[in-house]
Amino acid sequence: MFENTKLTPLSQFGEFALIDHLTKDAKIKHTSTIKGIGDDAAVLNYTEKQIVVTTDLLVEGVHFDLSYTPLKHLGYKSVIVNLSDVCAMNARPKQITVSIAVSSRFPVEALEELYSGIYLACEKYQIDLIGGDTTSSQTGLLISVTAIGEVMPNKVVYRNGAQVNDLICVSGDLGGAYLGLQLLEREKKIFKENPDIQPVLEGYDYILERQLKPEARIDIIELLEKLELQPTSMIDISDGLSSELLHICKQSEVGCDVYEVKVPIDYVSKKMADEFEINPVVAALNGGEDYELLFTLPLSSFDTIKSLQEFTIIGKITEKESGCQMVSLDGSLMPLKAQGWNGLTNG
């Protein structure tokens, strides 16, 4: 990645110089940020709003693989996964903190790349970077992002509000991020066995982007507000549709029917699934990291939403006693399971 440049070892910077270097471009955009980087703590001012706070910790070798994840994308994604959680509360993300632990095998330029992705996300989503922490690690890279957002007290949406007869809706399409990861893993394996073979990634840009450069669906939050629709429950899809639906149903004490035919899957995802001999619906149900929003709306909103392109009605909330199931194409019922990635095999 840095073939033609002279690299700067981390040791050339002291901790404080490194922090200054990485944070010199941080710009404050919001009046709610009273004090950002530069003191012992940041200071925020939220008056009548409620504040939502969420954190994710990403560990090299566990959550990301630097052999195919560009550092800029990693920086971007580590911000996005947190903004997505803020959106899932029906809140607007405003500030982030970023903490990193780095080993000396990373040159300063690598951290610049990481931060260029972080700043890109901050620009795109109008977020203030207000602080963080910097420390060393024995081996890999760790990144922890905390996001802070605001919401009017009567607008916050939890996982536990779904009601019987509500419509189940999902934004965008599903399974792409998982299939993008499978493709990257396959090409990595081929490259390891024979470094002369170049990865074949053409034609699959969409799913690669779904894996490497996800977006937070703040546009959906804005659309719902514009339509004056308040979801009864909401969650973001980080672990697959099945698992997230089960969270909503468990916390709301309801059941659900999801229709296989309605589960939104992109053409490129279908093509990739075919190649891997995976059922694309299984990838949508159990693959993770799509960062779409899953939410429930009262049946009375049907006329308002039925012809929208931004999200799809995939089923309905039922009585708890009916359980959580998918209605297959042939009408048979399949219980939903929180399988996660490990359960993904053929068929």
Asked if 185 is part of the footprint of Mg ion (rule: CB under 5 A), the reply reads no
Binding pattern for the stretch 81-120 against Mg ion, x by CB under 5 A and - elsewhere? ----------------------------------------
Cβ burial 26-44 (10 Å sphere, 16+ → b, else e): beeebebbeebbeeeebeb
Token pair for residue 305? 């939403």
Which entry of ligand ADP, Mg ion, none binds 59, CB below 5 to 8 A by partner kind?
Answer: none
Asked if 23 is part of the footprint of ligand ADP (rule: CB under 6 A), the reply reads yes
Q: Which stretch binds ligand ADP (CB under 6 A): 31-39, 48-56, 85-93, 309-317?
A: 31-39
Asked if 19 is part of the footprint of ligand ADP (rule: CB under 6 A), the reply reads yes
Show Cβ contacts of residue 149 under 8 Å, excluding neighbours closer than 6 positions. Answer: 51, 52, 86, 87, 89, 91, 92, 93, 94
Angle 214-220-241 from CA coordinates, rounded to 5°: 60
HSE, side-chain direction, 13 A CA sphere, residue 76:
21
Q: Binding residues for ligand ADP, how many (CB under 6 A)? A: 15
Cβ burial 83-104 (10 Å sphere, 16+ → b, else e): bbbbbbbbbbbbbbbbbbbbee
Smaller CB separation from ligand ADP, 117 or 131: 131
Smaller CB separation from Mg ion, 20 or 274: 20
Asked if 222 is part of the footprint of Mg ion (rule: CB under 5 A), the reply reads no
Asked if 205 is part of the footprint of Mg ion (rule: CB under 5 A), the reply reads no
d(Cα 24, Cα 43) in Å, to the nearest integer? 19
Applying CB under 5 A, among 25, 123, 133, 275 the residue interacting with Mg ion is 133
Asked if 15 is part of the footprint of Mg ion (rule: CB under 5 A), the reply reads no
Residues that bind ligand ADP (CB under 6 A): 19, 22-23, 37-40, 98-100, 129, 131-134
